[in-house]
Amino acid sequence: MPRLNRYIASSGLCSRRKADELIEQRKVNVNGKVITEPGFSVNDKDKVFVNQKLVRPVKHQYYKFYKPAGYITTSSDEKGRKTIYDLLPDSLANLKPAGRLDKASTGLLILTNDGDLINELTHPSVKVPKIYLVTINGRISRRQLEQMALGIEIEPDKTAYADVTVLEADNKHTLMQITLHQGLNRQIRKMFEHLGFEVKSLKRIQHAAITLDGLKKGEFKPIKPIQIKELRFFLNKLKGLQSEQAMSRSVSRAGVKD
């Protein structure tokens, strides 16, 4: 039998972490009884309510989508701008993107109703790699590349980092492959603005283990179960590696004497 927090997350309402918070806040009841234990076991016959609303597990769906320029990554917009859901069928309207791309940017979006997976792909603590192809006006220098690797303060108390590989360069433009491990708003554009460049094009080509391969602009396709399995393995391995690195740093600091 599933744990209560997993049951709520499987409904697509929220992530498991958020479900834990709702349970602790006494906003969840099972069969009319308030439950405060995230590990409480439930079955298909139980009626689970969150904020007095009945929730049921749904079958998880996983899609990848090639976002074209000119669309925002949201389900609705007060200003009347076009959204990615204008390009998607109604059957996918319940899916949410794992992260965003701004209006002018293109490329890969992972769409799903799996709240836990979205949380893992976007939570700052996991540092999931995202890879982009970026073209700027002008030629970037070695010193500026070093600045991007060491960190650029794009907002007060917000320092952005990027791993950059130059693919093509002349006096008019530089084409680069950029890997980010953060999810700061408009991070790449703000970094280049700080360096005095304009971003001419920005396309995400990979998010964790999922790539843009096989898609044209505006197209979408389901992610195969084997790819989801590989993605979960990738994320678990990444979290394990980061945990080992954090432990190593802690041990190193503990060994330093004043």
Catalytic residues: 102
DSSP category for residue 255: T
Containing 7, the helix (H) or strand (E) segment is helix 4-9
Cα–Cα distance for residue pair 16/94, rounded to 1 Å: 18
Q: Give the chain's length.
A: 258
Cα–Cα distance for residue pair 179/52, rounded to 1 Å: 43
Containing 48, the helix (H) or strand (E) segment is strand 48-50
User: Distance from CA of residue 219 to its chain's centroid?
Assistant: 20
Task: List beta partners, residue 163.
Answer: 179
Cα–Cα distance for residue pair 167/160, rounded to 1 Å: 21
**At residue 178, what is the residue type?**
I
Cα–Cα distance for residue pair 149/142, rounded to 1 Å: 11
Backbone angles phi, psi at 199, to 5 degrees: -80, 120
Residue 116 tokens read as 């836990």
| Residue-by-residue DSSP string for 131-180 | EEEEEEESPPPHHHHHHHHH-EEEETTEEE--EEEEEEE-SSEEEEEEEE
